[in-house]
Chain A
């Protein structure tokens, strides 16, 4: 066993060096509870390892292998296969786990089963997911021959949520699912699925819901005789009565698989049934391998990962000494204190998408390809957006770090308002990393010598000033040269005398 594990980890190590498919890392911590036999899921583990992930298996109460130590994460992703566990090691307790995951950016796949505990359900409620009470399951009236009612098989398009982004479930998987309707096979199989209803949390993306003709109900006891984990909740009659479904949910309301991307692009996924990744349904006949693989690809930051490589803003000015070939120079933010009002300013942002298929070199940089979209928008904002404009794709660029990226560029005129402005690019699309870039700059008023020296509208004033000055000089000249000597003196004294007289 040990040898196998060593070999596996060695294999994983080698494959990491070669591939590096996830944008954030390959280390996965898998927490498997004792009720679940890890070997029953070997196909799933193998598929992950084949994609280059290093798996570390631990029990829910093991204190070793902290997710994060000294502020550095030991694992990049987490798989929680612990539906029926109610007490965890300290670092895995929900109250500790959730902040750790969010702060350190650890992506997590949660696997549920009808034996899910209340503690786990209440953790999921933080994500605005309401799981059905334990001991309930997705049921069908038309089970497959030889299977119980809780073993639901259906066409993907019957269960796929209408707005699932292609980056989560790509077209190829959907295509394979479609062939199921033409009778080939390749159906989704959900054995003993615990359903949930996704709330209105904007970060939540429902992926798979219950197909028509299915509903949630109490887990049929007779059919679960072959379930290995049956013993756990056999004698739990009291809880079952308490948790009895108040209302049955079905169809689109009954979610089976949902994913979540946090504000800081940490991804989570919930799969309503551990059985979906079990070896007996992980076969070439079902669509589960493809579906789960594409799902984990998204959760573990392989697909739909968009990165802002650089942003820049500058003004174009006539070069004083002809430094650049076209007679203009870029003045970057280091060289001036801010833009002047009504100035033309150019903003650039470089976006790249992670490409999991590029396994050419060990360099992580090479795994990015230019990202081209046509709905990127730029705000120039101070409290409120003063300018809101689209920022078009301007071609590919190779950044200084050697990454090929898509460059977006916009030139616009700064509004006639001084203050601290922000260039904000906000691009939130489900299935992709949220792009939120904010660059602060200040817009300053004209300097005292930047106003035009002479303006046409002021010519009356110039004329007026000139005339008065000239008139004064003429008056002085007349006063000095035309006045009679005696008269001048007399006039001065006269007023003086008047003044004294009134006194």
Chain B
């Protein structure tokens, strides 16, 4: 990895631990450039290749939930053009409210793939938009490796950059969101994040308005692509703020930040979904504040030059106090008067992990928003997580402006990654960079063939002719030698350290490949399993159910399901859904929760009011698919309890002993809920009189047959994962649906519903 160190140009003999070939300086530069290019290409190729497990194993298919919407939106963009996409009103989502898609999404992803699609078609590559979407994430992962290389090169040297790029290319923390088919905002956002940061560092280092403009443009792209752009919005000002506090304000910083802020904010305001948020929400106020601060600092600088020192001190104090008070007062005034939106709940949940669970169950219910479990750090980052602090420490040792950036990034992202699982993604790049710095330093130290000698300190310049930024190392190194003459003398010491290091690298690659292959390459619409004889089997219940919906229901049929499946139903079946994954309206989601959580009689009017034709539930009890609706059921209860606290109460769904059970001890409310009934309808029949065991919850389901009155079973998939029920129309002759069901089963009425038997009035009672 590290460039071989030639002997000093002065011709002085340097003692070497092992011989190195004599190569001319030009050859060395040329070779290393070629090597860098080749290695980077290979890294990108590896990054792409390792993400193709899903395609090789299954097929070129869009994964999971959100990507299905993005894919559908991309199709609209490609087929109907940009303006139609922009003005796209989707009447099939959030029935009957509809969704103004163009104004409520981050269009960056779709626009990116649309551009790629159009360019390829212009070049006469007739690529299907689906394949563009599937392959977008791996392609951008390759670019991310390159961006990481550039970023790290700004921090340390090229060899560190290559190491960081290699880490970034295959680290599971990033692969988890960017395998082929995972067509989500994060797929391109991490590349944009790294590239924006790289350009920002370049701009801050050089004070170049060109680089900060580029940085702002990539920031604009990032804003268009991912809601996580707020991270950059706060990272960059924080970096500047810390620099100012440390007294490192300079015209370079001023130019870089001012250009970045103004152009970047204008660029971000072009995204319809963002609009005026950058000037009206608290999340963006830090950037504005730092922008103001920089102006003040620059102004103070000018005043200082013009005013004598003594007056300046008092002037400065007054000015700072005044400016601070006025700014704060204006901010508070604007916030209370409603011009600046206060922090959103999603943000509070970042500070207080319990906040969302109490106040906004809809956010807490998302598995991605749960706090991170500690094993997942090792799972996603392996040895990098141990090297990460070492890298940050190395940054402290040098503490140039850009190293501060790494430190701030590391601190912030460590916190966020601990709070929310999905923010693992944000910490991954900085971990890769820091770990690469630590690892590279170790390697460099132990691969350096120079054996310390006493007279080394006399010509410190001759030891290393290396990249800039490395000049301090030999000096520190030499000073150490001078003090105590410690050092690495023999080949054995070198091997003793290098061998485990290389081994851990190999282990890292092995781990990454294993995790990618086993944990992150499942499309989740197709489940992989094994037959009894060990041969691979595919559980394709989702797709068969969605196909059934597409082929057997009316085109305008309304499907009610929990919101997780909304995008898939829209994408696969092209049917109208009540709620979907966009978390657009809490009341609507709560309505679906209420339908699922109440009994038939309560649910029926709601179903009819919303024109629901079919109900879809996911039931994993038969084959042990744990991500089913019963395991999500408590969230439905909680969310609808938030809207109808009088009608839905969470404790009613537990057994008297407070357990969440489905067996005979389940509470009556639970047993009467539509969710329970739909999930276990006819389930005990499968066991032919034996014990009906739910394999997810390991509980025995009572054998009493479940009666459905207002809905009827329409479809159940092969492994019972997807169950679809049709909602009955009102009875044609005005009976209640339970009565009409009873009639269909052969029960005869002993008494009519409301007519008097034999006449009840006394007044006409004459005897014959």
Residue A248 lies at the interface, judged by CB distance under 8 Å to chain B: yes
Q: How far is the CA of A494 from the CA of B249 in the complex (A)?
A: 13
Q: How far is the CA of A118 from the CA of B750 in the complex (A)?
A: 9
| Central interface residue in B95, B272, B735, B766, by most chain A CB within 10 Å | B766
Contact B749 A420 (CB under 8 A): no
Contact A126 B98 (CB under 8 A): no
Interface string of A208-220 (1 = CB under 8 A from B): 0000000111101
Query: Which of these, B96, B305, B731, contacts A420 with CB under 8 Å?
Result: B96
Contact A337 B89 (CB under 8 A): yes
Residue B532 lies at the interface, judged by CB distance under 8 Å to chain A: no
Residue B758 lies at the interface, judged by CB distance under 8 Å to chain A: yes
Q: How far is the CB of B19 from chain A (nearest CB, A)?
A: 44
Binds B, one of A10-18, A69-77, A198-206, A401-409: A198-206
By the criterion of a CB under 8 Å from any partner CB, how many residues of chain A are at the interface?
69
Q: Specify which chain B residues have a CB less than 8 angstroms from the CB of A251 in the assembled complex.
A: 764
Contact A122 B748 (CB under 8 A): yes
Interface string of A238-279 (1 = CB under 8 A from B): 000000011111110110000010111010000000000000
Query: Which of these, A132, A420, A448, contacts B87 with CB under 8 Å?
Result: A448
Q: Which residue of B lies closest to A122 (CB)?
A: B748
Q: How far is the CA of A418 from the CA of B249 in the complex (A)?
A: 51
Contact B609 A203 (CB under 8 A): no
Binds A, one of B33-41, B296-304, B707-715: B296-304
Q: How far is the CA of A107 from the CA of B249 in the complex (A)?
A: 91
Q: Which residue of B lies closest to A249 (CB)?
A: B759
Contact A128 B754 (CB under 8 A): yes
Q: Which residue of A lies closest to B757 (CB)?
A: A130
Q: How far is the CA of A126 from the CA of B731 in the complex (A)?
A: 11
Assuming A440-B556, A491-B302, A496-B250, is B86 touching A419 (CB within 8 A)?
Answer: no
Q: Specify which chain B residues have a CB less than 8 angstroms from the CB of A263 in the assembled complex.
A: 730-734
Contact A264 B761 (CB under 8 A): no
Interface string of B729-745 (1 = CB under 8 A from A): 01111110001100110
Q: How far is the CB of A301 from chain B (nearest CB, A)?
A: 16
Q: Specify which chain B residues have a CB less than 8 angstroms from the CB of A491 in the assembled complex.
A: 302, 305
Q: How far is the CB of A406 from chain B (nearest CB, A)?
A: 27
Contact B249 A502 (CB under 8 A): yes
| Central interface residue in B103, B609, B757, by most chain A CB within 10 Å | B757
Q: How far is the CB of A133 from chain B (nearest CB, A)?
A: 7
Residue B496 lies at the interface, judged by CB distance under 8 Å to chain A: no
Assuming A442-B91, A496-B250, is B766 touching A248 (CB within 8 A)?
Answer: yes
Q: How far is the CB of B360 from chain A (nearest CB, A)?
A: 24
Residue B765 lies at the interface, judged by CB distance under 8 Å to chain A: yes
Q: How far is the CA of A246 from the CA of B734 in the complex (A)?
A: 28
Q: Which residue of A lies closest to B759 (CB)?
A: A249
Query: Which of these, A139, A198, A246, A264, contacts B757 with CB under 8 Å?
Result: A246
Residue B97 lies at the interface, judged by CB distance under 8 Å to chain A: yes
Contact A495 B96 (CB under 8 A): no
Residue A367 lies at the interface, judged by CB distance under 8 Å to chain B: no
Q: How far is the CA of A387 from the CA of B753 in the complex (A)?
A: 36
Contact B752 A129 (CB under 8 A): yes
Q: How far is the CA of A245 from the CA of B765 in the complex (A)?
A: 11
Residue B100 lies at the interface, judged by CB distance under 8 Å to chain A: yes
Query: Which of these, A126, A248, A503, contacts B248 with CB under 8 Å?
Result: A503
Q: Specify which chain A residues have a CB less than 8 angstroms from the CB of B305 in the assembled complex.
A: 491, 494-495, 498
Contact A217 B753 (CB under 8 A): no
Q: Which residue of B lies closest to A98 (CB)?
A: B743
Contact A419 B757 (CB under 8 A): no
Q: How far is the CB of A263 from chain B (nearest CB, A)?
A: 5
Q: How far is the CB of A102 from chain B (nearest CB, A)?
A: 5
Contact A499 B768 (CB under 8 A): no
Residue A185 lies at the interface, judged by CB distance under 8 Å to chain B: no
Assuming A95-B743, A217-B768, A445-B89, is B96 touching A382 (CB within 8 A)?
Answer: yes
Q: Which residue of B lies closest to A499 (CB)?
A: B250
Q: How far is the CB of A450 from chain B (nearest CB, A)?
A: 9
Contact A197 B759 (CB under 8 A): yes
Residue A65 lies at the interface, judged by CB distance under 8 Å to chain B: no
Assuming A254-B759, A338-B89, is B302 touching A496 (CB within 8 A)?
Answer: no
Q: How far is the CB of A18 from chain B (nearest CB, A)?
A: 33
Contact B298 A245 (CB under 8 A): no
Contact A262 B733 (CB under 8 A): yes
Q: How far is the CA of A456 from the CA of B245 in the complex (A)?
A: 46
Interface string of B18-50 (1 = CB under 8 A from A): 000000000000000000000000000000000
Q: How far is the CA of A250 from the CA of B760 in the complex (A)?
A: 10
Query: Which of these, A118, A260, A266, A419, contacts B97 with CB under 8 Å?
Result: A419
Query: Which of these, A102, A245, A247, A502, contacts B247 with CB under 8 Å?
Result: A502
Q: Which residue of B lies closest to A220 (CB)?
A: B768
Residue B755 lies at the interface, judged by CB distance under 8 Å to chain A: yes
Q: Which residue of B lies closest to A253 (CB)?
A: B759
Q: How far is the CA of A95 from the CA of B96 in the complex (A)?
A: 37
Residue B12 lies at the interface, judged by CB distance under 8 Å to chain A: no
Query: Which of these, A118, A203, A215, A337, contacts B764 with CB under 8 Å?
Result: A215
Residue A186 lies at the interface, judged by CB distance under 8 Å to chain B: no
Q: How far is the CA of A245 from the CA of B758 in the complex (A)?
A: 6
Q: Specify which chain A residues have a CB less than 8 angstroms from the CB of B748 in the assembled complex.
A: 118-119, 122
Query: Which of these, B734, B746, B749, B759, contacts A201 with CB under 8 Å?
Result: B734
Q: How far is the CA of A440 from the CA of B735 in the complex (A)?
A: 27
Residue A368 lies at the interface, judged by CB distance under 8 Å to chain B: no
Residue B751 lies at the interface, judged by CB distance under 8 Å to chain A: yes
Contact B766 A215 (CB under 8 A): yes
Q: How far is the CA of A495 from the CA of B300 in the complex (A)?
A: 10
Interface string of A112-135 (1 = CB under 8 A from B): 000000110010111111101100
Query: Which of these, A198, A443, A498, contacts B304 with CB under 8 Å?
Result: A498
Interface string of A429-463 (1 = CB under 8 A from B): 00000000000101111011000000000000000
Residue B310 lies at the interface, judged by CB distance under 8 Å to chain A: no
Q: Specify which chain A residues have a CB less than 8 angstroms from the CB of B301 in the assembled complex.
A: 494-495, 498-499
Residue B318 lies at the interface, judged by CB distance under 8 Å to chain A: no
Contact A95 B753 (CB under 8 A): no
Q: Specify which chain B residues have a CB less than 8 angstroms from the CB of A203 in the assembled complex.
A: 733-734
| Central interface residue in A118, A220, A442, by most chain B CB within 10 Å | A442
Residue A322 lies at the interface, judged by CB distance under 8 Å to chain B: no
Assuming A419-B96, A419-B97, is B251 touching A492 (CB within 8 A)?
Answer: yes
Residue A291 lies at the interface, judged by CB distance under 8 Å to chain B: no
Residue A421 lies at the interface, judged by CB distance under 8 Å to chain B: yes
Residue B756 lies at the interface, judged by CB distance under 8 Å to chain A: yes
Contact B755 A128 (CB under 8 A): yes
Q: Which residue of B lies closest to A218 (CB)?
A: B768
Q: How far is the CA of A496 from the CA of B610 in the complex (A)?
A: 67
Q: Specify which chain A residues have a CB less than 8 angstroms from the CB of B750 in the assembled complex.
A: 122
Contact B100 A418 (CB under 8 A): yes
Q: Specify which chain A residues have a CB less than 8 angstroms from the CB of B556 in the assembled complex.
A: 440
Assuming A133-B758, A383-B96, is B734 touching A128 (CB within 8 A)?
Answer: yes
Q: Specify which chain B residues have a CB less than 8 angstroms from the CB of A264 in the assembled complex.
A: 732
Residue B530 lies at the interface, judged by CB distance under 8 Å to chain A: no
Residue A187 lies at the interface, judged by CB distance under 8 Å to chain B: no
Contact A249 B761 (CB under 8 A): yes
Query: Which of these, B89, B96, B272, B758, contacts A249 with CB under 8 Å?
Result: B758
A sample of 30 inter-chain contacts (CB < 8 A) reads A102-B732, A102-B733, A122-B750, A125-B752, A126-B740, A126-B749, A127-B733, A128-B735, A128-B752, A129-B755, A130-B757, A197-B759, A198-B755, A215-B764, A217-B768, A245-B758, A248-B758, A262-B734, A263-B731, A263-B734, A338-B91, A382-B97, A383-B609, A418-B98, A442-B89, A442-B91, A444-B87, A445-B89, A445-B103, A500-B250
Which A residues lie at the B interface, using CB under 8 A? 95, 98-99, 102, 118-119, 122, 124-130, 132-133, 139, 196-203, 215-218, 220, 245-251, 253-254, 260, 262-264, 266, 337-338, 382-383, 418-421, 440, 442-445, 447-448, 491-492, 494-496, 498-500, 502-503
Inter-chain pairs besides A200-B755, A495-B305, 6 sampled, C-beta below 8 Å: A130-B757, A133-B758, A215-B766, A248-B766, A418-B98, A420-B97
Chain A to chain B: the 10 pairs with minimum beta-carbon distance, closest first? A249-B759, A217-B768, A199-B755, A250-B764, A199-B754, A130-B755, A502-B247, A499-B250, A442-B91, A420-B96
